[in-house]
Copies of this chain bind each other. A is one copy, B any other.
Amino acid sequence: MARDAKKLKPVKEFKPLITKSTELPLDPERLRFMHETMVKARCLEERLIAMYKSGHGYFWIGGPGEEAFNVPLGMLIKKGQGPAFDFCHFHYRQSATLLAMGEEPMGAIRQMKNTATDPYSGGRNFAGHFSKKEWNIVPVSSPIEVQYSMVAGTALAQKRHGGDGISIVTGGDAGTAEGDFATCLVWTSRPGEELPVLIIVTNNRWGISTPYEQVQGVEKISDRGVAFGMRTKTIDGNDPISAYLELKEAFEYVRTERKPYLVEARVSRLYGHSSASGANFNTVEADCLSQFEDKLDAHGIRTKAEAKALREKYAADYAELARVAKEEPFPDGSSIWNHVYAGEAPKDPLAD
């Protein structure tokens, strides 16, 4: 518990939300942090893509285009270990959220390169498959939507534990066709046993190559929560300011009411689905980062030149990190026997 208390402090302390010095509804310091984190996230993903393209990694998937939503999300998370803190049931596009929580970028680079030093999976799992027990970030797994079936469990423990820790689950639009999404709605809304879950769907209107409109008859995904009597909304995930404010309202509701809230965020998919679809920049979809940079410039909070400098700095930093990772060893073949069972020595059970 001593440890818990120490972790209570958020990533960064900010002044009150609305300031007089600008027409924007958030204080400049927060806006600049937001922007810088978005830049870091973009540069990190672009570095991962570059690694893939130059043969330093087998597969890339990640969240470029979602930074305007994912950064505010990370800023609002109460990080720490155990039921007093938030649990994060993420999918594979959440790097910006981790960075906003204060995570070092090197881990993602190591995972891309599948080195033994990869802190999330030891070279076992794909890029973007985070896991960090210290911060309640449960392992990202590839099967779509299973996290929606697990989230009720952590939230139930949290409700019983007391305090204001909540569980957060994220996933894509196409995935809501899986039964697990409905499972989440059912299990978080049992009468008198409602659970503190922030249910998030990032709707980029694609499932790999399949347009949302072709396969789903739901206008607003958030409407699926209505029958369950839960609060719902669909928000603009491309504007970090409104995303922050909307998420803040939802977080506060879930933290204090201990009930679920379903938030659908409309976002862009800027480098396609994954490396399997080429991972090239999409010039048609809105780029939340450059839009935000326009706004910050217009409001005199950060000039375009400053923004550009930041991008260059992080691009260079992460290129350097990638160079470091490239020299690191791969896991040893015999390590496949590590961590099959907790508390037991690694061994092949059928070895002579």
* A binding-site residues for B, Cβ under 8 Å: 177-183, 186, 189-191, 194, 213-220, 223-224, 226-230
Contact = CB atoms under 8 A, between A and B. Distances in A.
Contact of A224 (B178, B180, B227, B230): B227
Given A178-B179, A179-B180, A182-B182, A213 B191 contact: yes
Contacts of A215: 186, 190
A68 to B, nearest CB: 26
12 contacts: A186-B215, A186-B216, A186-B217, A189-B216, A189-B218, A191-B213, A194-B217, A218-B228, A219-B229, A220-B227, A223-B226, A226-B226
A190 B214 contact: yes
Contacts of A230: 217
Contacts of A177: 183, 186
A214 B191 contact: yes
A284 B345 CA distance: 60
B216 A190 contact: yes
Q: Which of A189, A213, A215, A217 has the most CB of B within 10 A?
A: A217
A227 B178 CA distance: 16
Nearest to A221: B227
Contacts of A213: 191
Contacts of A179: 178-180, 182-183
A190 B194 CA distance: 31
A234 to B, nearest CB: 12
A238 B30 CA distance: 60
Contacts of A227: 218-220, 223-224, 226-227
A216 B230 CA distance: 12
Contacts of A219: 227, 229
B224 A218 contact: no
A191 B215 CA distance: 7
Contacts of A218: 189, 227-229
